[in-house]
Structure 1
Protein backbone atom coordinates (compact mmCIF):
# COMPACT_ATOMS: atom_id res chain seq x y z
CA UNK A 1 0.00 0.00 0.00
CA UNK A 2 2.98 2.32 0.56
CA UNK A 3 3.36 3.02 -3.17
CA UNK A 4 -0.19 4.42 -3.39
CA UNK A 5 0.24 6.99 -0.61
CA UNK A 6 0.36 10.59 -1.81
CA UNK A 7 2.67 13.24 -0.34
CA UNK A 8 -0.45 14.95 1.02
CA UNK A 9 -1.32 11.76 2.94
CA UNK A 10 2.24 11.49 4.23
CA UNK A 11 2.07 15.05 5.55
CA UNK A 12 -1.33 14.24 7.07
CA UNK A 13 0.10 11.18 8.80
CA UNK A 14 2.92 13.24 10.28
CA UNK A 15 0.40 15.86 11.45
CA UNK A 16 -1.57 13.10 13.15
CA UNK A 17 1.62 12.01 14.90
CA UNK A 18 2.29 15.54 16.19
CA UNK A 19 -1.35 15.80 17.25
CA UNK A 20 -0.93 12.78 19.52
CA UNK A 21 -1.74 9.69 17.46
CA UNK A 22 0.57 6.78 18.27
CA UNK A 23 2.97 5.54 15.59
CA UNK A 24 1.43 2.08 15.74
CA UNK A 25 -2.02 3.52 14.99
CA UNK A 26 -0.66 5.52 12.06
CA UNK A 27 1.13 2.47 10.69
CA UNK A 28 -2.07 0.42 10.94
CA UNK A 29 -4.12 3.17 9.27
CA UNK A 30 -1.73 3.53 6.32
CA UNK A 31 -0.74 -0.14 6.26
CA UNK A 32 2.97 0.57 6.58
CA UNK A 33 5.70 -0.56 8.93
CA UNK A 34 7.41 1.59 11.53
CA UNK A 35 10.59 1.97 9.45
CA UNK A 36 8.65 3.58 6.62
CA UNK A 37 7.02 6.05 9.00
CA UNK A 38 10.43 6.84 10.50
CA UNK A 39 11.68 7.58 6.96
CA UNK A 40 8.66 9.84 6.40
CA UNK A 41 9.50 11.75 9.58
CA UNK A 42 13.09 12.15 8.49
CA UNK A 43 12.15 13.34 5.00
CA UNK A 44 8.92 15.32 5.55
CA UNK A 45 8.98 16.52 9.17
CA UNK A 46 9.99 20.09 8.34
CA UNK A 47 7.39 20.39 5.59
CA UNK A 48 4.68 19.00 7.86
CA UNK A 49 5.58 21.36 10.71
CA UNK A 50 5.65 24.35 8.35
CA UNK A 51 2.27 23.33 6.97
CA UNK A 52 0.82 22.97 10.48
CA UNK A 53 2.14 26.43 11.40
CA UNK A 54 0.67 27.93 8.24
CA UNK A 55 -2.71 26.40 9.03
CA UNK A 56 -2.61 27.90 12.54
CA UNK A 57 -1.62 31.29 11.19
CA UNK A 58 -4.36 31.12 8.58
CA UNK A 59 -6.94 30.33 11.26
CA UNK A 60 -5.76 33.30 13.34
CA UNK A 61 -6.04 35.59 10.32
CA UNK A 62 -9.53 34.31 9.54
CA UNK A 63 -10.59 34.97 13.11
CA UNK A 64 -9.14 38.47 13.00
CA UNK A 65 -10.92 39.16 9.71
CA UNK A 66 -14.27 37.92 11.00
CA UNK A 67 -13.91 39.96 14.19
CA UNK A 68 -13.05 43.07 12.18
CA UNK A 69 -15.96 42.44 9.83
CA UNK A 70 -18.36 41.98 12.73
CA UNK A 71 -17.07 45.13 14.42
CA UNK A 72 -17.57 47.26 11.32
CA UNK A 73 -21.02 45.79 10.69
CA UNK A 74 -22.08 46.30 14.30
CA UNK A 75 -21.60 50.06 14.15
CA UNK A 76 -22.84 51.35 10.76
CA UNK A 77 -23.18 54.95 12.08
CA UNK A 78 -19.45 55.11 12.78
CA UNK A 79 -18.45 54.50 9.16
CA UNK A 80 -16.65 57.27 7.34
Structure 2
Protein backbone atom coordinates (compact mmCIF):
# COMPACT_ATOMS: atom_id res chain seq x y z
CA UNK A 1 0.00 0.00 0.00
CA UNK A 2 1.42 3.34 -1.04
CA UNK A 3 1.52 6.02 1.60
CA UNK A 4 -0.18 9.31 0.89
CA UNK A 5 2.67 11.26 2.51
CA UNK A 6 6.40 10.62 2.48
CA UNK A 7 8.37 10.42 5.70
CA UNK A 8 9.77 13.92 5.09
CA UNK A 9 6.28 15.33 4.57
CA UNK A 10 5.06 13.63 7.75
CA UNK A 11 7.95 15.15 9.67
CA UNK A 12 7.08 18.61 8.32
CA UNK A 13 3.40 18.16 9.26
CA UNK A 14 4.35 17.20 12.82
CA UNK A 15 6.73 20.18 13.02
CA UNK A 16 3.92 22.47 11.83
CA UNK A 17 1.75 21.28 14.71
CA UNK A 18 4.60 21.76 17.18
CA UNK A 19 5.20 25.27 15.84
CA UNK A 20 1.79 26.34 17.06
CA UNK A 21 -0.88 25.19 14.64
CA UNK A 22 -3.82 23.53 16.33
CA UNK A 23 -4.53 19.86 15.82
CA UNK A 24 -7.79 20.67 14.07
CA UNK A 25 -6.10 23.06 11.63
CA UNK A 26 -3.41 20.55 10.69
CA UNK A 27 -5.87 17.68 10.34
CA UNK A 28 -8.21 19.68 8.13
CA UNK A 29 -5.40 21.03 5.97
CA UNK A 30 -3.84 17.64 5.28
CA UNK A 31 -7.06 15.60 5.52
CA UNK A 32 -5.81 13.27 8.22
CA UNK A 33 -7.41 12.06 11.43
CA UNK A 34 -6.43 13.23 14.89
CA UNK A 35 -5.27 9.69 15.70
CA UNK A 36 -2.98 9.71 12.66
CA UNK A 37 -1.39 12.98 13.73
CA UNK A 38 -0.77 11.66 17.24
CA UNK A 39 0.68 8.42 15.84
CA UNK A 40 2.98 10.37 13.54
CA UNK A 41 3.99 12.60 16.43
CA UNK A 42 4.94 9.57 18.51
CA UNK A 43 6.81 7.84 15.69
CA UNK A 44 8.57 10.68 13.89
CA UNK A 45 9.15 13.39 16.46
CA UNK A 46 12.75 12.83 17.55
CA UNK A 47 14.18 11.41 14.35
CA UNK A 48 16.63 13.48 12.33
CA UNK A 49 15.91 14.37 8.71
CA UNK A 50 18.78 12.25 7.39
CA UNK A 51 17.51 9.15 9.17
CA UNK A 52 13.98 9.81 7.96
CA UNK A 53 15.17 10.10 4.36
CA UNK A 54 17.11 6.86 4.64
CA UNK A 55 14.14 5.13 6.24
CA UNK A 56 11.89 6.30 3.42
CA UNK A 57 14.30 4.94 0.80
CA UNK A 58 14.57 1.61 2.61
CA UNK A 59 10.80 1.32 2.86
CA UNK A 60 10.47 1.97 -0.88
CA UNK A 61 13.15 -0.61 -1.66
CA UNK A 62 11.43 -3.10 0.63
CA UNK A 63 8.15 -2.62 -1.26
CA UNK A 64 9.91 -3.27 -4.58
CA UNK A 65 11.52 -6.42 -3.21
CA UNK A 66 8.21 -7.67 -1.82
CA UNK A 67 6.59 -7.10 -5.20
CA UNK A 68 9.41 -8.95 -6.98
CA UNK A 69 9.09 -11.86 -4.54
CA UNK A 70 5.33 -12.04 -5.01
CA UNK A 71 5.67 -12.03 -8.79
CA UNK A 72 8.33 -14.77 -8.65
CA UNK A 73 6.22 -16.91 -6.34
CA UNK A 74 3.19 -16.47 -8.60
CA UNK A 75 5.15 -17.42 -11.70
CA UNK A 76 6.39 -20.60 -9.93
CA UNK A 77 2.78 -21.52 -9.11
CA UNK A 78 1.68 -20.98 -12.68
CA UNK A 79 4.48 -23.24 -13.99
CA UNK A 80 3.12 -26.26 -12.09
Tell me the TM-score range normalised by the shorter chain: 0.5 to 0.7
Higher relative contact order (CA 8 A, sep 6+): 2
Q: How many matched pairs?
A: 48
RMSD (Å) for aligned C-alpha atoms: 1.8
Residue in structure 2 matched with residue 25 of structure 1 by the alignment: 25
Give the Cα separation in 2 of the matches to 1:25 and 1:7. Answer: 20
Q: Structure 1: which 5+ runs fail to align?
A: 52-80
TM-score by length of 2: 0.54
Q: Aligned partners of 1:31, 1:3: CA distance in 2, in Å?
A: 13
Residues 11-38 of structure 1, C-alpha deviation per residue, up to 9 Å, x if partnerless?
0011101110111111111101100001
| Structural mapping, 1:52-67, within 5 Å | none
Q: In 2, Cα distance between the equivalents of 1:40 and 1:30?
A: 13
Match of 2:42 in 1: 42
Structure number with the higher helix fraction is 1
Runs of 4+ in 1 over 2 A off after TM superposition: none
CA-CA distance at 1:3 after TM superposition: 2.9
Normalised by the size of structure 1, how large is the TM-score?
A: 0.54
CA distance, structure 2, for counterparts of residue 8 and residue 28 of structure 1:
19
